[in-house]
């Protein structure tokens, strides 16, 4: 009787094992997405739209940014196309020109950034970091908190700033961002990039 019981259980155990194996084949365990290698270009021209708020005031407009290894030019226009402000930055310092013709000078462009966003105060975006943030190619000392389904940055934390990549131009690993949020404290900047030109 004991041997007959052992024999009768063998097919049941074999069936259970085969069903478990089939389930593993049909539903393999999910693997984490591997990050893709991304490198920032040293020169670009972008055009798009921006909106910003400091929790009390807000600003919207259009942005054109020409970036080269030793110079930058940011031009912000109203939604209707009138130039609101322009910053030109180079080895000798930075100059902010307002629509009224008023000019301001500073050793660094970061000191003038609030001039690009009328009504938004105490904004000190770091231009050098911003140039790589918008390419979703954060520096080595930044924290890539999450990745998207294609292994590209979805959220980056860098020097107290958070950068959320909400959309890329396409699904390829090297695609440039199309929509991103940059924020710290009450300040939030949303950039919608409509045009990229890179070497």
Residue 116 has a pLDDT of: 86
Share of the chain above pLDDT 70, in %: 83
Query: What is the Cα 175 distance to its own chain's centre?
Result: 12
Q: What is the pLDDT of residue 17?
A: 54
Q: Which of 22-36, 88-102, 135-149, 182-196 is predicted with the least confidence, judged by mean pLDDT? A: 22-36
The span from the CA of 182 to the CA of 120, in Å, is 14
Domain 44-197: assigned CATH number: 2.50.20.10
Residues 155 and 146 sit within 8 Å (Cβ to Cβ): yes
pLDDT: is 32 or 70 the higher one? 70
Helix (H) or strand (E) holding 133: helix 127-133
Of 190, 199, 159, 170, the closest CA to residue 40 belongs to 199
pLDDT at 57: 87
pLDDT of residue 117: 83
pLDDT higher than threshold 60 for residue 5: no
pLDDT at 6: 47
The average pLDDT across 34-56 equals 93
Which residue reads 């013709």 in tokens?
101
The Cα–Cα gap between 156 and 146 comes to 7
pLDDT in the model for residue 7: 43
| 192: its two tokens | 């919608």
Q: Would you say residue 2 has pLDDT above 50? A: no
H-helix segments, the chain: 2-26, 127-133
């Amino acid at each position: 009787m004991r041997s007959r019981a052992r024999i009768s259980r063998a097919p049941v155990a074999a069936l259970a094992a085969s069903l478990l194996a089939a389930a593993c084949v049909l539903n393999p365990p999910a693997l984490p997405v591997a990050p893709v290698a991304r490198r920032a270009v040293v020169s670009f021209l972008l055009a798009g739209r921006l909106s910003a708020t400091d929790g009390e005031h807000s600003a919207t407009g259009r942005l054109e940014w020409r970036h080269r290894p030793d110079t930058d030019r940011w031009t912000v226009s109203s939604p209707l196309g009138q130039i609101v402000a322009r910053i030109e930055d180079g080895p000798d310092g930075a100059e902010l020109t307002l629509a009224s013709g008023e000019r301001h000078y500073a050793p660094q462009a970061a000191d003038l950034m609030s001039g690009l966003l009328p009504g938004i105060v105490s904004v000190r975006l770091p231009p050098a970091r911003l140039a790589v943030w918008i390419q979703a190619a954060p520096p080595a000392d930044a924290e890539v908190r999450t990745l998207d389904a294609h292994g590209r940055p979805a959220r980056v934390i860098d020097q107290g700033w958070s950068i959320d990549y909400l959309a890329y131009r396409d699904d390829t690993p090297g695609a440039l961002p199309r929509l991103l949020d940059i924020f710290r404290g009450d300040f939030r900047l949303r950039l919608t990039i409509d045009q990229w030109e890179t070497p």
